[in-house]
Chain A
Amino acid sequence: GAVVSQHPSWVICKSGTSVKIECRSLDFQATTMFWYRQFPKQSLMLMATSNEGSKATYEQGVEKDKFLINHASLTLSTLTVTSAHPEDSSFYICSATRIGGSNTEAFFGQGTRLTVV
């Protein structure tokens, strides 16, 4: 089956620093990847849609200058949390659909737990 991998799985950073999270489709190409955020005991919330070679589309209420998304290739999208603060501590998850596939299945990464101290 298709595999989506995130790196790192967890990260602790100091307040004010930036953190980059990678999302890779290991065995397929994806023109579109999606980034979600999940706070404790809450459901996943879509943050943005990442399109290869173009600007990301952000959901309402998500600051595009704070959450920088780059989708430089068909297998890699990155999310950078800039000037992180404790309230950004969350579980960040990406997903991707496969080019040439049925477009009906979404493959999710294992998630990245960010803790800002």
Chain B
Amino acid sequence: DAKTTQPTSMDCAEGRAANLPCNHSTISGNEYVYWYRQIHSQGPQYIIHGLKNNETNEMASLIITEDRKSSTLILPHATLRDTAVYYCIVRLNTNAGKSTFGDGTTLTVKP
């Protein structure tokens, strides 16, 4: 799996958009960008993934730069329940259960 770099922590005001960056400059052509989050004392939760096109689902949007060396996860209207550690993982699109988790970004949503 390609290495990723994320900020250690971020704050966001409730109701505002949370933009979480991830650098993955060594990503290879067939590797996807996955995002998971882990709320305290729970298992990780899948959020979204993409290859090169921007993606959106009911939870978030994923913006991938044209050179694919970085991406941004966007939570459009953050709530207090979005406070969690967010992990950006770059990996092949197989055996999704096997992932290398970095340190992630601790997002704190504040009222």
Contacts and interface: CB of A to CB of B under 8 A. Distances in A.
Contacts of A108: 36, 43-46
Q: Is the interface of B mostly helix, strand, loop or mixed?
A: loop
B96 A103 contact: yes
Contacts of B98: 32, 34, 46, 49, 95, 106
A93 interface: yes
Interface string B43-66: 111100100000000000000000
Interface residues of A, number: 27
B41 A95 contact: no
A44 interface: yes
B96 A113 contact: no
A111 B41 contact: yes
B99 A105 contact: no
A46 B42 CA distance: 16
Contacts of A93: 43-44
Interface string A52-80: 00000000000000000000000000000
Contact of A97 (B42, B96, B104): B96
Nearest to A113: B41
A97 B38 CA distance: 18
A99 to B, nearest CB: 12
A33 B41 CA distance: 20
Interface of B: 32, 36, 38, 41-46, 49, 87, 93-104
